[in-house]
Structure 1
Amino acid sequence: MFMFGLEMPPITPEFWAILGTLILLEGLLSADNALVLAVMVRHLKGEMQRKALAYGIGGAVVLRILGVLLASFILEYWWLRAFGALYLAWLAISHFIKKTHTADEAEASAKGRGFWPTVVLLNLTDLAFSVDSILAGVALIPRGMPREQGLTIVVMGGIVGLILMRVAATVFLKVLNKYPAFDDVAYALVGWIAVKLGIETLEAAHEVFPAVPTFHMPTVMFWGVMAAIAVIGSYLATRRPAMTDAQAAARAEAIVHHMDETVVDAADGRIDGR
């Protein structure tokens, strides 16, 4: 990893806490991404539906790689972190004030569009999910950590996200299908992460412009609130299942099977209907 300007950070409890949080968020957000991509192509017919989904999956991979490159700049410049904090805060707030679920909203926006407009919309959706997860990874990096070490963790999170989009997609989709409120838990965590990034941005700005007010959030406070959100949120989310285990599993497996078929078609040249 050294040849790419990366450096493995010290293996500490905080490292495992950051990586564990990234895996949880990447899993939920990747499953949400897979679900959204699947419903956005429903209005297309036959092979056009499969072809559009193939472009969407390919876009998810490319944009995740570009997102990791963007992360290197965000870690280096404090004013970019300010935009990241504002975006994550907006993301969390908008999630809780909107009235429709992400998948329902995406299906409504894609319905009636032609093939190429749908492909463009799929990739814009991929971009949003990539930015969400990459910024969350950046925000979790302690401000004092060397840039090379922080970027290593973000890269690890990005790789985990790509893997989870297929390997663990069924598990996370099943959880989201049965307990839709876990989506709220994920975005509550994102909102608190935005607060952390915002406070760290003020600290960095204060060093350049002393007139800027500054605050400091103790590490134990940040992780304490993160744990409280995860535990309390999980308890509340599991109190009201939306469907049975069998229904949730069947729906998740159907989505993943559809995506698997698309990947196979793209690999053997049949995605264009030949």
Structure 2
Amino acid sequence: MSLSFFADLSLLTVAQIIAIDVLLGGDNAVVIALACRQLPEELRNRGIFWGVFGAIGLRVLMVFFALSLLALPFLKIIGSLLLLWIGIKLLIPQDEDAHEVSASTHLLGAIRTIIVADAVMSLDNVVAVAGAADGHLGLVALGILVSVPIIVWGSRLVLMLMDKLPLVVQLGAALLGWIAGDMWMDDEAVSHHTVNWPLWSTYASSAAGAALVLLGGRLLALRSRAASP
């Protein structure tokens, strides 16, 4: 690992990536469990290990392409809008029966299911992590390597914490809004204007993004509860 990586190391960025992965990765842990549930007992750990190993590699690759795409004009603005929606969606009550994952009775089938399902379900995760990483793929890899074991082996604790302390989810959603509020200002299409804005404008935009997510999530959650029987 080069010295330049350590020079660029931002503990705050890594912490944000880990927080995003853990917050958005609870469903992925459920998928892993469902995919391996019909494997023989002696193969389950191997299925989980190789499935997670493949999912990590594919996710880093997806983030690499996302980082490359975000260098194009207007895509960071689009990414910011996606992040705002992802944050709002976190605050809307979810359907408990949303997971329909076919379990395989053989190892390769379970591994394939984990990798494919993780890739499909991690699109929101990839956008959020790419926004937080600010171009540093090394930080992305480090954050994912730390967070995935937490998701897989600590998923019950994480999910219980979210159930017991709704503030954790609120803070996570606000973090996504904060990143979105900062992300659009670095877009190639507008950065030649925003670079001359005062420093406080960056914090104001980030705070506005966080507030928008919390307000939008609360309004949609109230509407969802009112519509449910």
Tell me by how many angstroms 1:55 deviates.
Answer: 5.0
Task: Give the whole-Å Cα distance in 2 for the aligned partners of 1:118 and 1:171.
Answer: 20
CA shift in 2, pair 1:191/1:167, >3 Å: closer
Task: Give the whole-Å Cα distance in 2 for the aligned partners of 1:173 and 1:223.
Answer: 31
Matched, 1:46 2:40: yes
CA shift in 2, pair 1:62/1:88, >3 Å: same
Task: Give the whole-Å Cα distance in 1 for the aligned partners of 2:103 and 2:57.
Answer: 27
Which ranges of structure 2 fall in alignment gaps of 5 or more residues?
Answer: 213-229
CA shift in 2, pair 1:220/1:8, >3 Å: same
Q: Secondary structure at the match of 1:77?
A: coil
Matched, 1:125 2:120: no
Deviations 1:112-143 (A, max 9, x none): 788788655532332245443443233235xx
Q: How many correspondences in the alignment?
A: 203
Give the TM-score normalised by structure 1: 0.54
CA shift in 2, pair 1:129/1:196, >3 Å: farther
Give the TM-score normalised by structure 2: 0.62
Matched, 1:63 2:47: no
**Which of 99, 105, 120 does residue 98 from structure 2 map onto?**
105
Tell me by how many angstroms 1:61 deviates.
Answer: 1.9
Task: Give the whole-Å Cα distance in 2 for the aligned partners of 1:226 and 1:206.
Answer: 17
Task: Give the whole-Å Cα distance in 2 for the aligned partners of 1:207 and 1:223.
Answer: 15
Tell me by how many angstroms 1:66 deviates.
Answer: 0.5
Letter in 2 for 1:127: A
RMSD of aligned residue pairs (Cα, Å): 4.3
Aligned position for 2:131: 139
Q: Kindly indicate whether the alpha-carbon contact (under 8 Å) linking 1:27 and 1:169 is maintained by their aligned counterparts in 2.
A: no
Aligned position for 1:161: 144
CA shift in 2, pair 1:55/1:176, >3 Å: same
The structure with more radius of gyration: 1
Task: Give the whole-Å Cα distance in 2 for the aligned partners of 1:139 and 1:100.
Answer: 27
**Which of 172, 180, 186 does residue 186 from structure 1 map onto?**
172
Tell me by how many angstroms 1:93 deviates.
Answer: 3.4
Which ranges of structure 1 fall in alignment gaps of 5 or more residues?
Answer: 142-149, 230-274
Q: Secondary structure at the match of 1:151?
A: coil
Task: Give the whole-Å Cα distance in 1 for the aligned partners of 2:85 and 2:35.
Answer: 23
**Which of 177, 184, 189 does residue 160 from structure 2 map onto?**
177
Q: Kindly indicate whether the alpha-carbon contact (under 8 Å) linking 2:185 and 2:191 is maintained by their aligned counterparts in 1.
A: no
Task: Give the whole-Å Cα distance in 1 for the aligned partners of 2:151 and 2:109.
Answer: 29
